[in-house]
Amino acid sequence: MFAPAESLGKDEKNFFEAICTHLEPDVRETAASLFVFALGRLHEIGGDENMALVDRAITALLDLMPQECNKHLGRLEAYFGCILELARRHSDFLVILTKKHTVLRMVDLLSKYNPLYASVNPPFEKLISTICFICRSIPCVIDLNDSTNYDGVDP
């Protein structure tokens, strides 16, 4: 999961890409479940090094949004479900997702025109559920008056 892209073989896909691009829905769902489980275990173990890995993994997952997600709109249910499960899993994950501007990224993806919209019904239910959950939960984990807890970006 944490292997750098240059170490992957010619035909191997990045683990994160499997969550949103693999042809088989079961593989996408399993990859998403494994991802959430692995990050949950890293968080339970604790330590700065493990939290840095969690942050890096969430960043890698979110960085797929502008490229892969726009190309594979019909396959994104597991991807958006994965982000929703991460947000629900622990408040530390929710803070990371908030600091990575996840809501802004998702709204941007939702508002972009894609010619596939005419023929494919994208799984926007999970996307909207994720946006709503994060927006509803922000006051629970972030004190907007405490600039040390939050980097000052309005939710």
Q: What is the pLDDT of residues 118-130, one digit of tens each?
A: 666 666 788 888 8
Segments making up each domain of the chain, as ranges: 12-141
Least confidently predicted of 56-60, 69-73, 104-108, 142-146: 142-146
What's the confidence (pLDDT) of residue 146? Answer: 56
DSSP-assigned letters across all residues of 47-91: -HHHHHHHHHHHHHHHTTIIIIIHH-GGG-HHHHHHHHHHHHH-H
Helices and strands, number each (H, E), in the chain: 8, 0
Q: Would you call 124 exposed, middle or buried from its count of C-beta atoms within 10 A (0-12, 13-18, 19+)?
A: middle
